[in-house]
Amino acid sequence: MTDSTAVPEPGGHAARTTHAAAGADTDVVAIAPDPAVAQGILEDAPAAEIFDADTEAKARNLIGRYPQSRSALLPMLHLVQSVQGYVSQEGIAFCARQLELSEAEVSAVATFYTMYKRRPCGEHLVSVCTNTLCAALGGDAIYKKLSEHLGAGHEETSGEPGTPGSITLEHAECLAACDLAPVLQVNYEYYDKQSEQSAVELVEALRRGEKPAPTRGAPLTDFKGAELQLAGFFPEDEETYRSHVDGPSQAVETLRGARIAADRGWTAPVMEDVPLPEVEKK
Ligand code: FES
């Protein structure tokens, strides 16, 4: 274990692989993120050591929530990330086994969505919006500043992935908070109206082990904790649950248009009830 008070050295770190034996499945080789990862495939822990009985029970719980087991794939990939901090080849095999899917089917989903990471993440994932509005209002400059400060580029980690204070940086597309631009997220929690300086102060606090309160929404956890929530697992006690995942998420800026409309009695025009066109059955 790494000393939890140690501040990681700046600089991008190669993904440390925890893949289990992959066999000769060509699909498996095709989705390996890079040669270093592929090389690690034969060296690491077997599935049973990675995904324990508790994780298996959670996987069965997820399956029970859906009429068809394959519908549990998206939350199950989050569950895998809550254990490993990314979707490893073994994570893909785990989902495939639980859901009676092929590894190719699971891989196709895991590699499509950007929320499923193909390399081990840091304790925290920092996503900087560099889409048009945020970019124009400072998002590009914030990303560049953080990249230089952390010594990490897109999807690279400053510090040893998974250890305290390690931070993975990424570009993000529009985070649906353009009215609060430029924004960034830490483990998908919002930090609105950022500047280069505030963003650097934020990552420095994270490196020191602090968890600065997001601008709105739930309190900050870490990447794996957020992934467990995204998988759909929360504290059973209502009060603890609320304190972990709840929080005021509205922003004055977001509601301003609705407030003005309400004050002035504006309403949207009523849409005519037009019948939908016939669609040929597949
Ligand atoms: S462009 Fe950044 S939140 Fe929409």
Model confidence pLDDT, tens digit, residues 58-78:
999 999 999 999 999 999 999
Is the model's pLDDT at 119 over the cut of 70?
yes
Q: What per-residue confidence (pLDDT) applies to 8?
A: 39
Measured from the CB, is residue 129 less than 6 Å from ligand 1? yes
Q: What per-residue confidence (pLDDT) applies to 198?
A: 98
Contacts of 48 (CB under 8 A, 6+ apart): none
Model confidence pLDDT, tens digit, residues 120-146:
999 999 999 999 999 999 999 999 999
Q: What per-residue confidence (pLDDT) applies to 196?
A: 98
Look at residues 183, 224, 203 and name the one whose alpha carbon lies nearest to residue 82.
224
How would you classify the pairing of strands 167-172 and 124-129? parallel
Measured from the CB, is residue 130 less than 6 Å from ligand 1? no
Please write down the HEC assignment for all residues of 116-145: CCCCCCCCEEEEEECCHHHHHHHHHHHHHH
Q: Global pTM?
A: 0.79
- What is the C-alpha separation between 163 and 181, in angstroms, rounded? 30
**Cβ pair 39, 14 in contact under 8 A:** no
Look at residues 108, 117, 103, 245 and name the one whose alpha carbon lies nearest to residue 170.
117
- Mean pLDDT for the chain overall: 86
SS3 245: helix
Which superfamily is assigned to 124-242 in CATH? Glutaredoxin (3.40.30.10)
Distance from the CA of 185 to the center of ligand 1, in angstroms? 11
Distance from the CA of 209 to the center of ligand 1, in angstroms? 28
Residue 127 pairs with which residues in a beta bridge? 170, 185
Distance from the CA of 148 to the center of ligand 1, in angstroms? 22
Question: Can you read off the two tokens belonging to residue 224?
Answer: 């794996």
Question: Can you read off the two tokens belonging to residue 155?
Answer: 């999807």
> Is the peptide bond prior to 212 cis by the omega test (within 30 degrees of 0)?
no
Q: Where are the domains of the chain?
A: 13-110, 124-242
Alpha-helical segments (H) within 53-131: 53-63, 73-84, 89-99, 103-110
